[in-house]
Copies of this chain bind each other. A is one copy, B any other.
């Protein structure tokens, strides 16, 4: 392993066992309506690198794991530091550790997260992602060439998102607390990248036991549409025994 550029704090005294460093990065998805677009698309914030390697290229938000913090905490911290965002859902995705993925040996423990569109787009003063320099939202389906293996990481995260939306309540992480069936369907359509039959969709979600109809209706240019909420007795996404750890 060569100790070059990557950063300032590599000491010369470490032995080979310790020459591998751990980074934590997060793929954070939301839905965004692009100018002129019909349905929203899956979007994610990227951070422009300000030093080598890959200076000037876009990369996933992240940073080094601190020796005194847990992995989940490091994911939340580095995400907040780089983008100002706090997600509604955060889960460990995968550890990427190919030897040649960086000029020095770095294992990246990657999380994936969801954030509701109104939070992603409004931001909260200086803490909103849009307010920070060097942070920008991208359409997940048409990314530029990213730093390191980050294109590959996003591709895997998208695959996980598409899989998970099918058998869990994960769509809730992209919706307000109450929503119409059309809004819910739009989330599914954006993630899956295809249209769903409204009548079939309604039947499936109504049979799932996951949704509770409220007495409220969304009114506007169309006929009033009933608002639903998720059944809180059902987990957002079943992570099994690990849920109890946090």
Interface, chain A (partner B; CB < 8 A): 1, 5, 9-11, 13-22, 64-71, 92, 94-95, 97-99, 105, 107, 109, 152, 155-156, 159-160, 163, 167, 240-242, 245
CB within 8 Å for A16 and B66 given contacts A22-B22, A71-B97, A95-B95: yes
Q: Are B241 and A99 in contact (CB under 8 A)?
A: no
Report the 5 A-B pairs with minimum CB-CB distance, sorted nearest first.
A159-B240, A71-B97, A13-B13, A11-B15, A95-B95
Q: Considering only CB atoms, which chain B residue lies closest to A66 in the complex?
A: B16
- A68 cross-chain contacts in B, Cβ below 8 A: 1, 99
- A9 cross-chain contacts in B, Cβ below 8 A: 15, 17
CB within 8 Å for A18 and B16 given contacts A68-B99, A92-B94, A97-B109: no
Set B11, B14, B15, B69: member contacting A99, Cβ < 8 A: B69
CB within 8 Å for A21 and B14 given contacts A65-B97, A159-B241: no
Q: Are B17 and A21 in contact (CB under 8 A)?
A: yes
Q: Would you mind naming 10 contact pairs between A and B with Cβ atoms under 8 Å apart? A: A1-B16, A1-B68, A13-B14, A17-B21, A19-B67, A20-B22, A70-B98, A71-B107, A92-B95, A155-B241
Kindly state the separation between the CA atoms of A66 and B160 in the bound complex, as whole angstroms.
29
- A240 cross-chain contacts in B, Cβ below 8 A: 156, 159-160, 163
CB within 8 Å for A65 and B241 given contacts A9-B15, A10-B18, A95-B71: no
Q: Considering only CB atoms, which chain B residue lies closest to A242 in the complex?
A: B156
Q: Considering only CB atoms, which chain B residue lies closest to A1 in the complex?
A: B67
Kindly state the separation between the CA atoms of A47 and B29 in the bound complex, as whole angstroms.
41
- A99 cross-chain contacts in B, Cβ below 8 A: 68-70
- A14 cross-chain contacts in B, Cβ below 8 A: 11, 13-15, 18
Kindly state the separation between the CA atoms of A64 and B5 in the bound complex, as whole angstroms.
24
Kindly state the separation between the CA atoms of A21 and B28 in the bound complex, as whole angstroms.
27
A11-B13, A13-B15, A17-B64 are known; give 17 further A-B pairs, CB within 8 A.
A14-B15, A16-B66, A16-B67, A18-B19, A19-B67, A20-B65, A20-B67, A22-B22, A67-B105, A68-B99, A71-B95, A71-B97, A92-B94, A94-B242, A97-B109, A98-B245, A167-B167
